Structures are given as structure tokens and as C-alpha cells.
Chain A
């Protein structure tokens, strides 16, 4: 069974630009969550999508958005990039999210904003 796939693995963008990251969950998994990981802040929850609907949202500005498609693939978008958005963005899939006890993470997308 293929794991969680995130593309691209690395990205360099300029301040003010926007970026779209992609996540393909494990086949059959319907929940996709996104996290931002930085050295000082650890993994911070961005949002979770389940069956194409945003089910939970973290404490991030509206510049961060996402969506999920009918095949459970998910994208997240960051508009008007700031230097502080430089981070590793991880997505995690699980069968149902919520009380599902195990989440499977992708390798992440390393975003650098210059």
C-alpha cells in the first residue's frame, strides 16, 4: 500500500507570492490534516479535511487555506507569503480522523520564503 505522498518536496518562493502544496493520502483514507513544523514551534495544526469538508481549523491567518477533492487528495494554499511562513509542511492521513488513533504522515514539503 502506497504511503502518503506530498509534492513538491522542496519549494523556494519570494515574499508576496502564493504557493500550493499537494497531498495524496493512503488509499481508502478520507481524512487529511495539515501541519506546519518549525524548529521553535513544533508541529502546529493547520486544518483537517474529511470527505471534501473542512472539519477542523487551527489558529492560522486566512492566508492559509485548503481544500479536498472527491478522491481525498488535498491541497493547501498560502497567499501573500511572508518570511515567517518558511517551514516544513506536513500532511497526515487517517481512515476517519477524529478518534482514529494513528495518523500517517508524508515526508513533507520544505517551503523557503526569501
Chain B
């Protein structure tokens, strides 16, 4: 199975900050990686698909990058609505796996 290591587990930031979250895979993913945002009591929401593609309707301050085994989600200027938990998920194998999550909270 492909293991996903997401870091940091918690990130304290202020409105306007640039935020970066990293996901590392135990094997190459061929860009089959997605990023989600989840708020308490809600289903995850797809932000980025296939590593770097912005899902329709998602603000352009969100971006995804990376290749091989290391991928990054960047929020260019954190907004009040962005305080949430973020997950990566890989689809490169028949057995899909999520990262452990990164909670972005108020500094």
C-alpha cells in the first residue's frame, strides 16, 4: 500500500498569511493526488485534483504543486473562511489512501 505522510499536523496562522501544507508518498504517484478541505460537521470538499488542477468554483488563492512523491497545497493569502482541516488523497494504486490531515487554526 502507498503510505501518505502529511505535514504539519497543525498549523497556526493569521489572515493574510501564506500557508503551505506538504504530502509525501511512499511511492511515486504520477500526479494522482487530490487535496480536500473539511470543516467541522461537513463532508470534505475537493479543492485540487490531479495534483495541480483547481476544482471549479474554488478560489484561486488555492494552488497545488509537486510531482513524484512530494506534493504541496498552498494558500496564497489565508482568508477567514479557510480555517479548516486539509487532507491529501492518492489514487495511483487500486488501494486509495488519505494523509493524516492538517488543521489550520487561528494564531
Do A and B actually bind? no
List residues of chain A with CB under 8 Å of any chain B CB: none
Measured CB to CB, the residues of B under 8 A from A are none
